A and B are shown apart, each in its own frame.
Chain A
Amino acid sequence: MSENRPSPRVRAGRELPLSGEDLLGLLSEVLAKGVRIRFRASGYSMSPFIRDGDVITVRPCKKTDLRKGAVAAYVRPMNDHLAVHRIVGGTEAGFALKGDHEPIADYPVAASGIIGVVDRVERNGRRIRLGMGPEKGLVAVLSARGLITWAFRAFGRNKGSVT
């Protein structure tokens, strides 16, 4: 054995080729222990608030966290894949969750399918707050109507940084 001395190897998670299924498993297991999980987001569905490569932290959620505007990690009913999208509405049948950059919401998503909510977004080492603070209710309204891109064009560019 000594030729191959046992030792734990420290690795950066971003080096691992995590599939969506792997990530969902890890997320579920870590959140079930009541602690937060920090990982690199991939994809463009939540652009411009969460961009491909941003690092997000998801925490376990209570029912009271599941409000319009919150960004939640959930299991998509259509394919059982993990998604991180915004709550844009809901009825007794379940929640409607939609990527801010996507045209259509997932609906209905049962509360039991929501495994956590995003409480931090980091980009290039800086915390990104836009879309995650008190304005998130308004963002949800704009997102539900497909007006996020329009809003950014109308207001974001003239205000300088949108983050």
Chain B
Amino acid sequence: MKKQLLFIPLTTFLSFLFLFLAPLKAQAEVDLFGYYESQIMGAKVKSDFYQLFANKLRVDLKSDLSPNVSFGANFDFITYHGKKQWNILDFLSSEITSKIPDSVKPLYVIPFSDRSFLDNAYLRLSFKPFDLTLGKQQISLGTGYVWNPMDVFNIKDILDPTYEQPGHNAIRLDVPIGLASTVTALYSPGDEWKDSAKMLQFKSRISRFDLAVIGIERIWRFHDYTVSDSSQMSFQELPEKRQLLGASTAGQLLGLGVWAEFAYNWMEQTDDFYELAAGTDYTFDSQTYFLIEYYRNTLGKSDYRDYDVNDWMRNFTQEQKAVSRDQIYFLLQHPATDLMTVGMSTIYSISDHSLALVPTVMYSFSQNVDIYAYLNWNVGEEGKYFAKTMGNGGFVRVRIYF
């Protein structure tokens, strides 16, 4: 309880620091930067065409309060326009939706509500023997490009895997051992000690390979998406303890970049499962870049006829990283001009033989303005991971940095 009390004031303290103390510092010592981005997403689902617009302003602050103390924070302000309520059932097969009780159907609507929030706010103490980071911070784990079995804090968007991830409230201690090794301990508080996430990671380097071993304990909150809770306002939550032991590596073999990441998960109530990601990449003389990543998740089903509403909803809500058991991601990129890169990413479900094609283009419009766009075609049969009935769509993002 005491620990928890320590954290609530911590966030308050950091907010105070951001709002009052930092501006009082000499202005030149506070670095203010960020971006504004406008996103347009359209999707043709059955006979309807949906569109959603999002405007996001991200303001970052960074300051070195002393040689050993730094502070970073960012605020996000996001507004949505257009179709602000998406019914997940529109995307699922009739075989699935027909089994859902009418009483819970309204709960399948996902709203896009305007938001403004403090995404990150942390204080970092850096001394020769250690770095200590306190507050809301990004946590990035693993070597995978699209899938990170070791990362229980974030799930990437497979259509946009390099997009930034949200901050998590935590205390993080990094202790270097020599020049190539680091031990990291992380504590992310919940209501009580037993509900809090704990992580211990050891990273090192052997020859040309980076290696990491990790252990994590965290309360995992699956939901039963066929049963509403007593308030009838949300689905029933099924919290349970999740313990993960994982390892990752990244290096080079036969001239190819290679990486692999594995995590075994012991679940307190539901079945244990494991995840594996392995990939390779290469840059040709022509500057063409090629990447392949394989991902297995034993929470996913190997037969698409077994997919149920919980599989889909847990995937949409990022409780599990995939619906199907085995999938593979391909990425091909080439600089078409010195300011434009074109690419094609493909996600193929090995389990159900469905496919999503995602042609992309990135254009540097000016020094601080980027444009990123992609199309998304799903070409699988109804009921499969990338079914045609999921709809086809497109996405454009214009980002202006300041």
Same complex? no
Question: Which A residues form the contact surface with B (CB < 8 A)?
Answer: none
Q: Which residues of B contact A (CB under 8 A)?
A: none
